[in-house]
Amino acid sequence: MKRLPQLKEDQLVKTIGTGKVILFFTADWCPDCRFIKPALPDIEKDFSDYTFYQVDRDENIDLAAELNIFGIPSFVAYNNGEEIGRFVNKDRKTKQQVEDFLQSLE
């Protein structure tokens, strides 16, 4: 998983480019984020048509606010720079829930 550098929303589309992208908002201190992290390599493999970026919410607090990310872990999907879906809340997420979200995008 690539790590997104610190940036603002107006820089986001240029950074993620074209194609299908998933932003995974997380933080080192977040227990629910640590819960889902071990499942992410399998999720990335199963949804290989997406490029996954880890976004440290604390490093990118302005970006998180601009995108209305107020709970983590959260996932935001893009296709060619346009947001196509989001799984954003403060609840713990299971592998199945994340996979269901990704399948709903198709």
Whether 89 contacts 74, CB under 8 Å: yes
User: Beta strands 82-87 and 50-56: pairing type?
Assistant: unpaired
Active site residue 30: yes
Active site residue 33: yes
Catalytic member of 33, 43, 72, 102: 33
Alpha-carbon gap, residue 30 to 75, rounded angstroms: 15
Catalytic member of 27, 30, 36, 64: 30
Catalytic machinery residues = 30, 33
